[in-house]
Amino acid sequence: MLHQRLFAASLLLVCLCLGFIAWGYQAPFSYEPVGPRAYPLMLLILLALGALVLLVKPAMESSESDEPTLTRPMLIKAAICLGLLLALAALFERLGFIPVSILFALGMARLFGGRWLPSCVLAVVLGVGLYFLFDRVLEVPLPLGVLSALEI
């Protein structure tokens, strides 16, 4: 329980610092209807609320004995997850949102035991669906990368 509270306090502190930085962000021109700082601030608010819940009541639905021990397979999965996130960030501009999202979703689904066919279908639906949600509905431009020839 102490580890959960330390993590929650650290996460809350990081959210507050990043929120302070994001609040002052001003773009010389606005290409999004809600402005450039709305999306990071919304995510930071959600993260901070989750951190507050963990800080106040860390054991809402679990007991002290439910805390998993850090095993070698768990650490390997965490390292692979971190590698997938770093690859997502590094390849986002070059490959584009859709291919990188598909590869990330496929990797995460397989990492947590998904079968190949459902994982592939989910990854494609997620990558294409999120692109259309952000690009068409929310009007947040995302890079197409290698698929830029398909742009209308």
Tokens 């929650």, located at residue? 8
pLDDT given for residue 110 in this prediction: 92
105 phi, psi to nearest 5 deg:
-65, -40
pLDDT given for residue 103 in this prediction: 92
pLDDT given for residue 1 in this prediction: 66
Domain range annotation of the chain: 1-67, 69-152
Check if the beta carbon of residue 63 is closer than 8 Å to that of residue 71: no
pLDDT given for residue 152 in this prediction: 60
Tens-level pLDDT at each residue, the chain (152 residues): 677 788 888 888 988 888 888 777 766 665 556 666 677 788 888 888 888 888 887 666 555 556 667 788 888 988 998 998 898 888 888 888 889 999 999 999 999 899 999 999 999 999 999 888 888 787 777 777 777 666 66
Torsion of Cα atoms, 100 then 145 then 125 then 109, to 10°: -10
Is 19 buried (19+), middle (13-18) or exposed (0-12) by CB count in 10 A? middle
Other Cβ atoms within 10 Å of 126 Cβ, number: 18
The residue among 16, 13, 36 whose CA lies nearest residue 26 is 36
Tokens 């929310």, located at residue? 138
pLDDT given for residue 126 in this prediction: 92
pLDDT given for residue 109 in this prediction: 93
Tokens 């095993």, located at residue? 71
